[in-house]
Structure 1
Amino acid sequence: METKVRNLSRRQKLQLRYYLQTIGTHNGTFHCDEALAVFLLRHTPDYREASLKRTRDLAILDTCDIVVDVGAIYDAEKRRFDHHQRGFQEVFGYGFGTKLSSAGLIYKHFGKEVIAGELELDIEDPNLTVLWLKLYKEFIEAIDGIDNGISQYPSEQKPKYRNRTDLSSRVSWLNPPWNCPADAEIVDSLFSKASQLAGEEFLGRLRYYANAWLPARGFVGAGLTARHGIDPSGRIILFEQFIPWKEHLFELEEERNIASDALPLYVIYPDEFGGNWRVQAVPVAPESFESRKALPEKWRGLRDDQLSRVCGVEGCVFVHASGFIGGNKTKEGALGLARLAVVM
């Protein structure tokens, strides 16, 4: 056997190495965390073609190259990634405090590698870290919380309804019913289906964040940088196209440590559907209905020519009764409204 291996080409040896790699996880009822963990590992160079052993036999698990969600050991150097053992309290870090499941553990150690490979990014690309953290926040952390039985709410108040359409629930539904037992081969086949389901949803989210969310962040960052060129006060941001901006604006303001008395008050952008332009007051928080500085009270609830007469800006369309948003037929008109509002 050794002679045959020595005679293989470098490419054949590499393929053999992939083939010989084995991922171990537990058998029986499966969950979203190890289903996703296995999928992620199979999207790394080392484990792309790895076989899978589903067992709780420690002697068999010890023959595997990497083990997830079973074995009562967390040791990254030894490639053991379980989270069930007494005293395990590992979290992702970077401000996240949810106890990790096997999905979070594998993502913490291999997530950047997976993202870099899928998007063909250099491992040192700063956008890689941005996407890595974003996907943990929006996708992986919930899987960690659900698998570890961590309530989403600090109190024990009974929810008004149940949500069983989350990814963890959809994976759980793939298990055979308790009263229709299936043999190991069938359960392993269902696990493969669950792993593919979890992984495809992960990749779909990754592609969205890379191709839509991240470019929007770039536009918002550029607008924040250029705001003093729009108005000397620096309190107005202009976007030449409609983009989702709130989440990015608050994150970038914090990252750049912008003083509270220098924060933007209004955002100008073209209407998503019409051809008109909007001036929107920046809220005090992304989900808040309260504005940092609402449009002037005397404009609120007015429309068209009446609004133009009151504010002295031609082409007005409306100002909402709460003052959080207004509209004008032109970019110049929307800027005029915002510049007046800053000093009023």
Structure 2
Amino acid sequence: MEKQFKRIGTHDGKFHADEVMATAILNEIFITELTRTRDKKILDGLDIVYDVNGGELDHHGIDKVLREDGIPYSSCGLVWNKFGRDVISFKDQALNEEEIDDVFKFIDRNLIEGIDALDNGIWIDKSEVPLMNISSILSGFNPVWYEKNNENKNFNKAVEFAASILNNKINFKISVLKAKEKVIKAYETREIPQVVILDTYCPYIEALKETDKDEEILFVIFKTKTNYLIQTVRGKDGEDRKKLPKAWLGKRDEELAKVTGVSDAIFCHTGRFIAAASSLEGIKKLAQIAIDECHEPYKHENIIAKIIKSVRKLFVRK
């Protein structure tokens, strides 16, 4: 596939994340010549115009185009909606229509929709801790008030940055799809019923959720450049189905080896969700020890137990 040449245009002046990301999207499939202006005569002569001048890719009219969840499209979303599937198929021609649609929806939900919401005045970050988001980061490329003649230069820098974010997201989702076959094979050929062993790390979570319907898998093992890791698997409630043993917590090298009896054990995270060993045999031994460890109740089970205990005390008093 070869890129076609397109003369594209958006407004000049202060720029925002929506037209910056829209430009990055268009650059993925076209060789572009960008004009930033509000002059209608100039814009009318261009091939693609967005976020200005009316038309299908300008969201500033009264009648907003809405998603199913009610979030209105900005120019970014309108451009993605029209050209996004082409961007994905251009990036990986081996993807089928279902996979392209899967990536398209993922990018819209996890990148584009947030930009659209904020550009339409819908504040989506309600955290008490201030968090930077893609919209504030891209808007931050605007020249400060006392800088002169840097607007287009800074806009192009913002587009370059936006393109890296867009490509990283697309590449990640494609990598998830490509990992699916590997995860399914590891699941179906596993030696230990509660453990999936991968010969290398790949994004396994989504494929494992689809495959492990009965939630049998407690741990995933995979090889890194230097050692082997065991990682816990979370259930539908967001909690680890089983944490690594308390006795391992924060221990390293000889101390961990002494506690576990595994000579090449390297470390266990203080969160008890990941541990390492130098060899496959060593990490499998750690997995078996963790499986054999007595069940540790989830937080909600502890709460229920406390409630029952309190109720019993009331009856005893009566």
TM-score (norm 1): 0.65
Asked if 1:67 corresponds to 2:43, the answer is no
Asked if 1:167 corresponds to 2:137, the answer is yes
Distance 1:227 1:341 in 2: 19
Q: What does 1:230-249 align with in structure 2 at a 5 Å threshold? A: 230-233=190-193, 235-241=194-200, 243=201, 245=203, 248-249=204-205
The RMSD of aligned alpha carbons is: 4.2
Q: Secondary structure of the equivalent of 1:205?
A: helix
Q: What does 1:10-159 align with in structure 2 at a 5 Å threshold? A: 22-45=7-30, 48-49=31-32, 52=35, 54-55=37-38, 57=40, 64-73=46-55, 80-91=56-67, 98-117=71-90, 119=91, 121=93, 124=96, 128-154=100-126
CA distance 1:196–1:111, change in 2 (3 Å) = farther
Shift of 1:68: 1.4
**Residue identity opposite 1:112 in structure 2:** R
How many residues are aligned here? Answer: 291
Gaps of 5+ in 1: 1-14, 74-79
Q: What does 1:242-321 align with in structure 2 at a 5 Å threshold? A: 243=201, 245=203, 248-249=204-205, 251-254=206-209, 256=210, 258-262=212-216, 264-270=217-223, 275-284=226-235, 290-297=239-246, 300=249, 311=260, 313-320=262-269
CA distance 1:267–1:166, change in 2 (3 Å) = same
**Residue identity opposite 1:261 in structure 2:** E
CA distance 1:232–1:335, change in 2 (3 Å) = closer
**Residue identity opposite 1:240 in structure 2:** D
Shift of 1:214: 3.9
Distance 2:277 2:23 in 1: 53
**Residue identity opposite 1:338 in structure 2:** A
Q: What does 1:325-344 align with in structure 2 at a 5 Å threshold? A: 325-344=274-293
Determine if contact 2:230/2:283 at 8 Å carries over to the other structure: yes
Q: Secondary structure of the equivalent of 2:272?
A: coil
Moved more, 63-72 or 105-114: 63-72
Gaps of 5+ in 2: 294-318
Distance 2:281 2:215 in 1: 25
Shift of 1:238: 1.5
Q: Secondary structure of the equivalent of 2:25?
A: helix
Q: What does 1:191-206 align with in structure 2 at a 5 Å threshold? A: 191=152, 193-206=153-166
Distance 1:292 1:196 in 2: 47
TM-score (norm 2): 0.69
Distance 1:170 1:340 in 2: 51
Cα distance per residue 1:288-319 (max 9 Å; x no partner): 7x522012345556666676676565544454
Distance 1:164 1:53 in 2: 22
Cα distance per residue 1:204-254 (max 9 Å; x no partner): 235445666644663465134312422352x2122223x364xx41x2244
Distance 2:213 2:175 in 1: 25
Determine if contact 1:224/1:237 at 8 Å carries over to the other structure: no
Cα distance per residue 1:55-82 (max 9 Å; x no partner): 264x765555443113445xxxxxx212
Shift of 1:331: 0.7
**Residue identity opposite 1:329 in structure 2:** S
